[in-house]
C-alpha cells in the first residue's frame, strides 16, 4: 500500500531553553503543511549536522512527524559545559516538555537514538516527562562497570574522551593510539594522547561503584520507569550487554503493567554501527541480515505516537537473527523458556596451554580419576594477550579469528570433539571458573569460539572478572595468594548455530588488551601506578572444582 508523503521543511539552530537559563541548539524537521504532529526528540553529543541525521529527519518528517535533533549541553551549537551524562536527564525532560507545548506538536513525544543517545533516554525517563510516550533505545551502554568490570574505564574510552573533548569532533586518526594504550600510569593516558582531561582523571579516580557513579545509574531503577521501549542492538555490538539487560529489566521490573507488557527487542548480526552492511569482517550474513530500520522504527512510533493499530504489539516481543543459520526468528521472551542450560566442563592432562595443548571441553563432569585437575600459566602485563580490534573506539572486536593468538602458552584452550549435529546456543553465556594466583589481584578472561573445520577460531562472545571485585563492584577485596576462589564470569549473549563438524571452544587467559586495561598484578591502587608483577595462575577442573561454561542450548 502506498503512503502519501509530506513535503518537509527544516528550521535550523532553534534555541530551546533549559531550567537553568542556558539554551540548547536544535534543528527541527517538520512537514511543511501546517498542522499538529507527534514529535521525536533525538539528543546527541556527536553534532546534529551529519548526512545520516539529515536523511533520518527527512524520512520521519515525510511520514508525518516533527523530528527535533539537538546538540547536548556543551557540544556543537549548544550552550553550557559538556559533562557526559550528568545533565542529560533534566535536559531531556526540559526538551521534551518544550517540544510538547509547541503549536505544531500533538503533545505525543517519543525519543530515539543509539549509544550515548540511547543511555540518556533512560536517564531522561527517570525524570518522568509527562509527554514522553515511547522510546527507541539502540546499542545502549549499561551502568558503570557492567561493560568494564575492572574499576577503570575501558582502555579505548580515552579515544572517545578525546573525540568529544571540544565543542566539535576531534580528529581521532591523528593520534597513535597503540602508544597511548601502552602508557602507564593509566590516569595520565590523556596526556599521552596530547590533551588534558579533568573528566578522564576524575573517572579514573573513582575505581568502584560509589556515589559518583551511582548518580548516573539507571539499570537499578527500572521500577521507577513507565515507558514502552523498543530495544535494538547486534550480537557483535561492543556494548551489547546493555540491550538484553534493559529489555529484561523493564519486562520483569517496570513500574507498571503498562511498562512491563510493552517492551520489544530487535537483535541483528551487527556491530555497534547497526544495520550498515551484510558483512562483518570475513563473514557475510546474507541479504536478509539488513532490514529497513527506518520503517521498522516508524511502525513502533506509528503505534505509540499516532495511535495506529498496526498489530506490532500483537507480535512476539523479540525479533532476532540466528547466526550460523543466518535467519531471522521471532521469540516471546529472553532468555528463551525452552533453553537447556548445559555445562561444558574443562578437562586436560595438565597441558591445556595453547591450541596445541591437551585441553578438552565436554559435558562430562570431572571425576576423581582425572590424571590432572589443573592447568597453569604465567601472565605478564608487559606482554598481554591481544584482543583483536581496531584501535579507535568506534567498534571493539568482531567475529575475528583467534587461531594465531591461541599459539600463546598464556592462553588455555579447551575444545569439544567435532559436533555430530548442529547445536544452537542462544541466550546469556556464563562461565564458572575455579582459580588461584600468587598475586594479590589479577584478571581472568573467558572467550567462547566456533572452530570451523578449516581451523578458523571465530570469536562469538567473551567476558572477564577482576579478582578484587569478585564480591561486587562496590568493594575491593584482594586475594590471598595460593587460595582457590570461585569466579563467575558474565560472557554476555549470543545467538549462533554451531554447524555439524564444527567444534565449540573456550579460551581462558588473564588479559584481553586493549579491550580491558592490563591488571598490573600488584594489588596497588588502580590506575595510579606503573610497577608490574608477573602472576602465576592456576585454573582448577577437578571433582571438587568443576570449572565450566554454561551454554544456553536451544533444542531443535
Residues 227-271 pLDDT 10s: 999 999 999 999 999 999 999 999 999 999 999 999 999 999 999
Q: What's the mean pLDDT in 51-66?
A: 97
Which is the catalytic residue, given 25, 78, 95, 115?
Answer: 115
Q: Which helix (H) or strand (E) holds 115?
A: none
Residue 278 has pLDDT above 70, yes or no: yes
- Give strand pairing partners of 252: none
Q: What pLDDT shows up at residue 369?
A: 64
Per-residue pLDDT tens digits for 126-138: 999 999 999 999 9
Per-residue pLDDT tens digits for 523-544: 999 999 999 999 999 999 999 9
CA gap 106, 240 in Å, rounded: 34
> Going by DSSP bridges, is the β-strand pair 340-347/360-362 parallel, antiparallel, or unpaired?
antiparallel
CA atoms within 13 A on the CB side of 314: 4
Which is the catalytic residue, given 27, 94, 226, 237?
Answer: 237
Phi, psi torsion values for 475, nearest 5 degrees: -150, 155
One-letter-per-residue 3-state SS of 313-347: HHCCCEEEEEECCCEEEEECCCCCCCCEEEEEEEE
Cis peptide before 335 (omega within 30 of 0): yes
Residue keyed to cell 505544531: 104
What DSSP character marks residue 388? P
CA gap 2, 550 in Å, rounded: 49
Three-class SS of residue 1? coil
Is 272 a residue of the active site?
A: yes
CA gap 499, 422 in Å, rounded: 4
Which is the catalytic residue, given 131, 157, 231, 272?
Answer: 272
What angle is formed at CA 273 by the lines to CA 447 and CA 459, rounded to 5 degrees?
15
Task: Say which residues have a Cβ less than 8 Å from residue 241's Cβ, sequence separation at least 6.
Answer: 142, 146, 147, 490, 492, 493
Residue 1 has pLDDT above 50, yes or no: no
- Strand ranges inside 143-262, DSSP E: 229-234
Q: What is the mean pLDDT of the chain?
A: 97
CA gap 232, 319 in Å, rounded: 10
Helix 88-100 and helix 116-125, axial crossing angle in degrees, nearest 10: 80
- Give strand pairing partners of 386: 513
Q: Which of 193, 213, 191 is nearest to 202 (CA)?
A: 213
DSSP letter for each residue of 49-92? TSHHHHHHHHHHHHTT-EEEEEEPTTSTT--S---TTTTHHHHH
CA gap 253, 247 in Å, rounded: 10
Per-residue pLDDT tens digits for 279-305: 999 899 999 999 999 999 999 999 999
Q: What's the mean pLDDT in 505-523?
A: 98
Residue 101 has pLDDT above 60, yes or no: yes
pLDDT band at 368 (very low <50, low <70, confident <90, very high): confident
Q: What pLDDT shows up at residue 370?
A: 67
Q: What pLDDT shows up at residue 345?
A: 98
Residue 350 has pLDDT above 80, yes or no: yes
**In 254-319, where does DSSP find H-type helix?**
257-261, 293-306
Do the beta carbons of residue 73 and residue 82 sit within 8 Å? Answer: yes
Phi, psi torsion values for 266, nearest 5 degrees: -120, 120
Do the beta carbons of residue 91 and residue 97 sit within 8 Å? Answer: no
pTM for the model: 0.97
Residue 2 has pLDDT above 90, yes or no: no
Three-class SS of residue 134? strand
Residue keyed to cell 600488584: 522
Is 454 a residue of the active site?
A: no
Per-residue pLDDT tens digits for 207-217: 999 999 999 99
Do the beta carbons of residue 385 and residue 354 sit within 8 Å? Answer: no
What angle is formed at CA 156 by the lines to CA 151 and CA 161, rounded to 5 degrees?
90
What distance separates the 2 farthest-apart alpha carbons in the chain? 81
Length of the chain: 556
Phi, psi torsion values for 365, nearest 5 degrees: -65, 155
Q: What's the mean pLDDT in 170-198?
A: 98
CB atoms within 10 A of CB 555: 9
Per-residue pLDDT tens digits for 388-412: 999 999 999 999 999 999 999 999 9
Q: Which of 177, 236, 290, 233 is nearest to 400 (CA)?
A: 236
pLDDT band at 3 (very low <50, low <70, confident <90, very high): low
Residue 4 has pLDDT above 80, yes or no: no
Amino acid at each position: 500500500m502506498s503512503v502519501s508523503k509530506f513535503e518537509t521543511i527544516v528550521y535550523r539552530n532553534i534555541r530551546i531553553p533549559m531550567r537553568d537559563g542556558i539554551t540548547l541548539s536544535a534543528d527541527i524537521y517538520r512537514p511543511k503543511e501546517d498542522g499538529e504532529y507527534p514529535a521525536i526528540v533525538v539528543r546527541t553529543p556527536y553534532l546534529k549536522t551529519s548526512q545520516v541525521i539529515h536523511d533520518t529527519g527527512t524520512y520521519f518528517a515525510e511520514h508525518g512527524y516533527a523530528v527535533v535533533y539537538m546538540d547536548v549541553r556543551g557540544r556543537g551549537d549548544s550552550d553550557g559545559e559538556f559533562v557526559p551524562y550528568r545533565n542529560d536527564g533534566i535536559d531531556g525532560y526540559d526538551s521534551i516538555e518544550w517540544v510538547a507545548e509547541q503549536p505544531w506538536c500533538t503533545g505525543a513525544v517519543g525519543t530515539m537514538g543509539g549509544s550515548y543517545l540511547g543511555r540518556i533516554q533512560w536517564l531522561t525517563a527517570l525524570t518522568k516527562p509527562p509527554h514522553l510516550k515511547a522510546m527507541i533505545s539502540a546499542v545502549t551502554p549499561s551502568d558503570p562497570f557492567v561493560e568494564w568490570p575492572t574499576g577503570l574505564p575501558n582502555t579505548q574510552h580515552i579515544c572517545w574522551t578525546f573525540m568529544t573533548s571540544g565543542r566539535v569532533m576531534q580528529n581521532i586518526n591523528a593520534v597513535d593510539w597503540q602508544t597511548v594504550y601502552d602508557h602507564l600510569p593509566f590516569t595520565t593516558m590523556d596526556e599521552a594522547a596530547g590533551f588534558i582531561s579533568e573528566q578522564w582523571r576524575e573517572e579514573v579516580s573513582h575505581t568502584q561503584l560509589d556515589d559518583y557513579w551511582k548518580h548516573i545509574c539507571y539499570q537499578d531503577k527500572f521500577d521507577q520507569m513507565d515507558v514502552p521501549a523498543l530495544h535494538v542492538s547486534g550480537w557483535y555490538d561492543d556494548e551489547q550487554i546493555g540491550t538484553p539487560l534493559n529489555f529484561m529489566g523493564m519486562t520483569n521490573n517496570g513500574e507498571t503493567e503498562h511498562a512491563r507488557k510493552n517492551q520489544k527487542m530487535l537483535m541483528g548480526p551487527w556491530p555497534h554501527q547497526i544495520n550498515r552492511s551484510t558483512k562483518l569482517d570475513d563473514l557475510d550474513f546474507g541479504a536478509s541480515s539488513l532490514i529497513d530500520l527506518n520503517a521498522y522504527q516508524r511502525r513502533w512510533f506509528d503505534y505509540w505516537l499516532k495511535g495506529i493499530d498496526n498489530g506490532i504489539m500483537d507480535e512476539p516481543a523479540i525479533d532476532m537473527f540466528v547466526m550460523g543459520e543466518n535467519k531471522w526468528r521471532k521469540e516471546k521472551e529472553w532468555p528463551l523458556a525452552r533453553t537447556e542450560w548445559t555445562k561444558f566442563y574443562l578437562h586436560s592432562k595438565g597441558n591445556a596451554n595453547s591450541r596445541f595443548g591437551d585441553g578438552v571441553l565436554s559435558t562430562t563432569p570431572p571425576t576423581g580419576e582425572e590424571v590432572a585437575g589443573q592447568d597453569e600459566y604465567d601472565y605478564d602485563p608487559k606482554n598481554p594477550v591481544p584482543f583483536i580490534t581496531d584501535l579507535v573506539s568506534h567498534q571493539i572486536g568482531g567475529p575475528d579469528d583467534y587461531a594465531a593468538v591461541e599459539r600463546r602458552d598464556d592462553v588455555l584452550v579447551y575444545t569439544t570433539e567435532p559436533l555430530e549435529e548442529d547445536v544452537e546456543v542462544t541466550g546469556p553465556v556464563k562461565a564458572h571458573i575455579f582459580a588461584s594466583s600468587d598475586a594479590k589481584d589479577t584478571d581472568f578472561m573467558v572467550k567462547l569460539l566456533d572452530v570451523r573445520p578449516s581451523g578458523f577460531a571465530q570469536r562469538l562472545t567473551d567476558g572477564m572478572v577482576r579478582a578484587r571485585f569478585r564480591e561486587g563492584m562496590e568493594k575491593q577485596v584482594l586475594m590471598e595468594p595460593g587460595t582457590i576462589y570461585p569466579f563467575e564470569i558474565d560472557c554476555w549473549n549470543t545467538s549462533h548455530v554451531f554447524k555439524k563438524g564444527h567444534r565449540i571452544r573456550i579460551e581462558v587467559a588473564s588479559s584481553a588488551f586493549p579491550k580491558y586495561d592490563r591488571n598490573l598484578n600488584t594489588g596497588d591502587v588502580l590506575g595510579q601506578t606503573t610497577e608490574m608483577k608477573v602472576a602465576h595462575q592456576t585454573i582448577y577442573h577437578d571433582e571438587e572444582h568443576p570449572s565450566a561454561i554454561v551454554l544456553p542450548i536451544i533444542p531443535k
